[in-house]
Structure 1
Amino acid sequence: MSSLVARDHKVLVKAGRPASSSSRYWRSPLAWFYSISSWRSRLLLGISMLILIFLVISRSIAIVSWDQDEANFLLVSRHHRYTVLINTWKRYDLLRKSVAHYASCRGVDAIRVVWSESEPPSESLLAALEKSIRAAKNNPELELRIDINDEDNLNNRFKPLDGVTTDGIFSIDDDVLVPCTTLELSFRVWLSAPDSMVGFVPRMHWARLKNNWKQISPTFRPEQPTFTYGGWWSVWWMGTYSMVLTKAAFLHHKYLEYYTLQMPASIREYVANQRNCEDIAMSFMVANLTNAPPIWVKGKLYEIGSSGISSLKGHDVHRTVCVNFLAARYGYMPLVSSNVKAVGANLQWFW
């Protein structure tokens, strides 16, 4: 015990001694920084130090992030590829751009186009699309197939696909482009949870206490509680979501068969009559089957079109009616809320 006290005392005495001549001219970095008289010089030096720290951190994060070569190696396997399912309607320039873009992504095994127009695609359009497929150097065996439907019906986008060879289906609108690297990230997220919906466009619902259905729909009055559909700003404000829209989302191909063959026919009739709500219906169906939330992947996507169903007046009101209609048909609210967001580690500067 005494020796310990003695050692502490010796250290204390040593710390209190005057600095020797050999250490007199040494200064800590902080003391040296404050010795600079000019505040402009301090500011410039401080900014330089922050930039240096920022570069060191960014380099260290890149080292521990997903190896892109490894990701590309996995995607070469046919089992670890996916089918791009493009829904289109009389926007031929957008369809050409969309096919050309997704043909350049390495993970794409096939591109299927849902065609619901009264007239088949023109020869010039087919030639342009085939040219894009031939130009896909990363996918020499890429297949393009246009599935022509007899009637214009939003349910067509979820019809089962004959000849599909992949489990993963990337459902996308013809006016939305997702960068290939971001698309591969979302596919890897989906591979970790293949029964979930994984997408880029989150939406939410919430229960409301007051029933205002006389103002919204004169024919449909669900029992309390009723629910409200929330768009992007609701997700941003509340920090939660319970749906990812199929305008840009991965799902298992088995859900196409569930939607068409097992989901209540009254829901498909509602979608056909309202010309809306097929994406919410898919979210309800998957949530009912899995009792789990979808997964939102944060990533950039580019909308190259200027019009669509979502731009029509009263869109959110119709979506709210749809949410309540589906909840009434299922007899409960199957949607599960989440605040989880998947982000690529190599895209984040700080953990």
Structure 2
Amino acid sequence: MMGSLPISRRLVFKLRQVGIGTLGSAKSKLLILGCVALIILAVSNRNRDGSSSLIGWTGEVDLSSSPRGRYSIVMNTWKRYDLLKKSISHYASCPLLDSIHIVWSEPDPPSDSLKRYLSHVMRLSSRKDQQVELVFDINKEDSLNNRFKEIKDLKTDAVFSIDDDIIFPCSSVEFAFTVWQSAPDTMVGYVPRMHWVDQKKGNDKYRYGGWWSTWWTGTYSMVLSKAAFFHKKYLKLYTDEMPASIKEYITKNRNCEDIAMSFLVANATSSPPIWVKGKIYEIGSTGISSLGSHGERRTECINKFVDEFGRMPLVPANMKAIDSCNSWFW
């Protein structure tokens, strides 16, 4: 059927119908054929130029040497050295990576053997044209807030916040990075979650929606910082402006620092985050989310933060960014 034809083919079909039906002369047919050839040439040139990502970014401008052309990884870890080694080995090979900052909150500093091993891995895995920097950010206090402490000497604008037990292909990470470049004030990530009004308790009370509610409805209002890009300015904002009561609550309960960051960014922008499709390889088997009553604890966090912020800043969305070059079916 004509309605199912691609745009360029429909245009060619209409031009031929109009030209042949109304003019009918040899000259008009030659004119139409010339137009058809120009259209086909323009379409083929556009396709040959390479794929474009969100909001006009074509990748033709070399930004690799600028702060916005590269990104830094901030990786949270806790006594899972085998997982840390695997993650560092993988991410060190990503082309646009500038540095990896390991958030270290253990009572003992990293051992010399661990440092030597990771340094060796970085040298082997990094691309020949660039050596990725590896930094241990040592913290005296054991708190989940440490993953959002300001990093004074961070060279890049983009921060990719990641846990040590999650691996994404470099191509997926850098697609998400291009999406972030088109919207650098918001959070861009792979793990969406939603808040819902709790009808049983009133319009000013909320409950936490896990993965299944997002999958079922296609709606989300957060992307978790276990795998998300955001601007480095939010590290400073979290460090300097996040209410002390929220930080104390997070330290005490060992949960919800990711929700707090989503609140912070949404409160600053009044905009939703962006969910990016990507393959997630979880190489760990345990974590906070595996504990009992996880959803109830997260619901408590949301309502606590709403009280502290004085409003619900999270903005729902249902947009999902997909790399069309690697997806034959949209």
**TM-score (structure 2 length as normaliser):** 0.81
Match of 1:303 among 282, 286, 291: 282
Equivalent residues in 2 for 1:213-292, closer than 5 Å: 225-292=204-271
Following superposition, the deviation at residue 74 of structure 1 comes to: 3.4
CA distance in structure 2 between the partners assigned to 1:174 and 1:125 by the alignment: 15
- Give the corresponding residue for 2:147: 157
Following superposition, the deviation at residue 329 of structure 1 comes to: 1.0
CA distance in structure 2 between the partners assigned to 1:306 and 1:168 by the alignment: 29
Tell me, yes or no, if the aligned pair for 1:287 and 1:335 is still in contact at 8 Å: yes
- Give the corresponding residue for 1:122: 111
For residue 51 of structure 2, what is the amino acid of its counterpart?
W
- Give the corresponding residue for 1:34: none
CA distance 1:322–1:61, change in 2 (3 Å): farther
Following superposition, the deviation at residue 334 of structure 1 comes to: 0.5
For residue 102 of structure 1, what is the amino acid of its counterpart?
Y
Following superposition, the deviation at residue 71 of structure 1 comes to: 4.2
For residues 3-37 of structure 1, the C-alpha deviation after alignment (integer angstroms, 9 at most, x for no partner) is xxxxxxxx9xxxxxxxxxxxxxxxxxxxxxxxxxx
- Give the corresponding residue for 1:90: 79
- Give the corresponding residue for 1:180: 170
Tell me, yes or no, if the aligned pair for 1:88 and 1:115 is still in contact at 8 Å: yes
Following superposition, the deviation at residue 67 of structure 1 comes to: 7.0
CA distance in structure 1 between the partners assigned to 2:268 and 2:182 by the alignment: 18
CA distance in structure 2 between the partners assigned to 1:72 and 1:153 by the alignment: 42
CA distance in structure 1 between the partners assigned to 2:87 and 2:158 by the alignment: 19
Following superposition, the deviation at residue 330 of structure 1 comes to: 1.1
Specify every segment of 5 or more residues in structure 1 that has no aligned partner in the other structure, as ranges.
Answer: 1-10, 12-58, 212-222
- Give the corresponding residue for 1:77: 65
| Cα RMSD for the two superposed structures | 2.2
Tell me, yes or no, if the aligned pair for 1:61 and 1:349 is still in contact at 8 Å: no
Please tell me whether Structure 1 or Structure 2 has the larger radius of gyration of its CA atoms: 1
CA distance in structure 2 between the partners assigned to 1:87 and 1:61 by the alignment: 42
CA distance in structure 1 between the partners assigned to 2:258 and 2:207 by the alignment: 16
Following superposition, the deviation at residue 151 of structure 1 comes to: 1.3
CA distance in structure 1 between the partners assigned to 2:223 and 2:49 by the alignment: 29
CA distance 1:130–1:252, change in 2 (3 Å): same
Alignment of 1:205 with 2:195, yes or no, is yes
Following superposition, the deviation at residue 162 of structure 1 comes to: 2.3
Alignment of 1:66 with 2:47, yes or no, is no
Task: Name the % identity.
Answer: 55
For residues 125-155 of structure 1, the C-alpha deviation after alignment (integer angstroms, 9 at most, x for no partner) is 1111101111112553311000110011000
For residue 328 of structure 1, what is the amino acid of its counterpart?
D
- Give the corresponding residue for 1:31: none
For residue 104 of structure 1, what is the amino acid of its counterpart?
S
- Give the corresponding residue for 1:217: none
CA distance in structure 2 between the partners assigned to 1:196 and 1:138 by the alignment: 32
Tell me, yes or no, if the aligned pair for 1:204 and 1:234 is still in contact at 8 Å: yes
Tell me, yes or no, if the aligned pair for 2:166 and 2:281 is still in contact at 8 Å: yes
Match of 1:194 among 151, 170, 184: 184
**TM-score (structure 1 length as normaliser):** 0.76
Following superposition, the deviation at residue 122 of structure 1 comes to: 1.0
CA distance 1:108–1:139, change in 2 (3 Å): farther
Give the length in aligned residue pairs.
Answer: 282
CA distance in structure 1 between the partners assigned to 2:108 and 2:50 by the alignment: 48
For residues 298-327 of structure 1, the C-alpha deviation after alignment (integer angstroms, 9 at most, x for no partner) is 111211000011111111110000011111
Alignment of 1:148 with 2:148, yes or no, is no
For residues 34-70 of structure 1, the C-alpha deviation after alignment (integer angstroms, 9 at most, x for no partner) is xxxxxxxxxxxxxxxxxxxxxxxxx9997575279x7
Farther-moved stretch of structure 1 (72-81 vs 333-342): 72-81
For residues 190-214 of structure 1, the C-alpha deviation after alignment (integer angstroms, 9 at most, x for no partner) is 0000000000000001101213xxx
CA distance in structure 1 between the partners assigned to 2:129 and 2:249 by the alignment: 39
CA distance 1:336–1:67, change in 2 (3 Å): closer
Tell me, yes or no, if the aligned pair for 2:197 and 2:203 is still in contact at 8 Å: no
Tell me, yes or no, if the aligned pair for 2:72 and 2:97 is still in contact at 8 Å: yes
Match of 1:322 among 294, 301, 304: 301
For residues 211-236 of structure 1, the C-alpha deviation after alignment (integer angstroms, 9 at most, x for no partner) is 3xxxxxxxxxxx85210101110001
CA distance in structure 1 between the partners assigned to 2:113 and 2:61 by the alignment: 36
Following superposition, the deviation at residue 278 of structure 1 comes to: 0.2
CA distance 1:72–1:97, change in 2 (3 Å): farther
